[in-house]
Amino acid sequence: MTRKPQIHLEKITYDNVDAIVNLRVAKDQRSYVASNQWSLVDAYLSLASGRPVHPFGIYNGKTLVGFIMISYNNDWSGYKRDAWLNSDEYRFYKDKPFYYIWRFMIDRKFQKRGYGREALRRAVEFIRTYPSGLADFCVLSYEPENEVAREFYRSFGFVELNEPGYYEPGDEISAVLKL
């Protein structure tokens, strides 16, 4: 009988930072995910500039299986190109703060065990405590060719913001979840 994952999120500390940095995705996923080392640099720089960010290790019991980083923002301009910034949809979102799942990965050794699904559920639960302020939406993004991510996030209720013509080659697809 397979045991249900005991997934929880833990803050990054001196005790687990090396293990977080050493997590790796599968070879065919490397172009989809920034390194955890650079993600932690981004987190530090964001915190230093006053932008709230919450990096966590994803654990199954006592075993580190992944990494997730959540930020809080109210500036949508970095997420879309000019065509979207001039759309009615943008005018709806533009003045509303949101949480952003900035990074999310499960180590290659622990994929396809339900850990990602449970980790995302836990992350959304955390976001719904509004640790950095109120928001109506959670946003994330992924590479357009990453069909696995697209279907995974859709199964959680994330809806793509990008419509044809609203993004340029090289842009990621952004998706939003009402909180």
pLDDT of residue 144: 83
171's tokens:
């842009």
Tell me what pLDDT residue 170 has: 63
Nearest to 133 by CA among 78, 90, 85, 70: 70
d(CA 53, CA 72): 6
pLDDT in tens, the chain (179 residues): 556 669 999 999 999 999 999 999 888 778 778 889 999 999 999 999 889 999 999 999 999 999 999 999 866 555 555 555 555 555 566 678 889 999 999 999 998 899 999 999 999 999 999 999 999 989 888 888 888 999 999 999 998 876 555 556 567 788 889 99
Helix boundaries (H) for the chain: 17-21, 36-48, 82-85, 88-93, 115-127, 147-155
What domains are there in the chain, each with its CATH number?
7-178 (3.40.630.30)
Environment class of 70 (CB within 10 Å of its CB; exposed 0-12, middle 13-18, buried 19+): buried
Q: Which amino acid would we find at residue 137?
A: F
Tell me, what DSSP letter sits at residue 87?
S
Whole-structure pTM value? 0.86
Chain centroid to Cα 172, Å, comes to 13
Q: Which two tokens stand for residue 141?
A: 């993004």
> What pLDDT, on a 0 to 100 scale, did the predictor assign at position 78?
56
What is the per-residue pLDDT for 168? Answer: 60
Side chain identity at 43, as an amino acid letter?
A: A
